[in-house]
Chain A
Amino acid sequence: QKEVEQNSGPLSVPEGAIASLNCTYSDRGSQSFFWYRQYSGKSPELIMFIYSNGDKEDGRFTAQLNKASQYVSLLIRDSQPSDSATYLCAGTNAGGTSYGKLTFGQGTILTVHP
Chain B
Amino acid sequence: GAVVSQHPSRVICKSGTSVKIECRSLDFQATTMFWYRQFPKQSLMLMATSNEGSKATYEQGVEKDKFLINHASLTLSTLTVTSAHPEDSSFYICSARAPKGRFEKLFFGSGTQLSVL
Contacts and interface: CB of A to CB of B under 8 A. Distances in A.
Interface stretch (B43-51, B60-68, B82-90): B43-51
B108 A34 contact: no
A61 interface: no
Given A32-B103, A51-B103, A43 B49 contact: no
Contacts of B95: 100, 102
Nearest to B42: A106
Nearest to B33: A100
A27 to B, nearest CB: 13
Contacts of A102: 34, 36, 44, 46, 95, 106
A99 B111 contact: no
A49 B95 CA distance: 16
A41 interface: yes
Contacts, number: 51
B113 interface: yes
B106 A34 contact: yes
Interface residues of B, number: 23
A50 to B, nearest CB: 9
Given A43-B93, A43-B111, A99-B97, A104 B103 contact: no
A90 B113 CA distance: 22
Interface string B84-117: 0000000101010100010110101111010000
B78 interface: no
Interface string A69-90: 0000000000000000000101
A74 B36 CA distance: 23
Contacts of B49: 101
Contacts of A107: 43
B20 to A, nearest CB: 18
Nearest to A105: B43
B77 interface: no
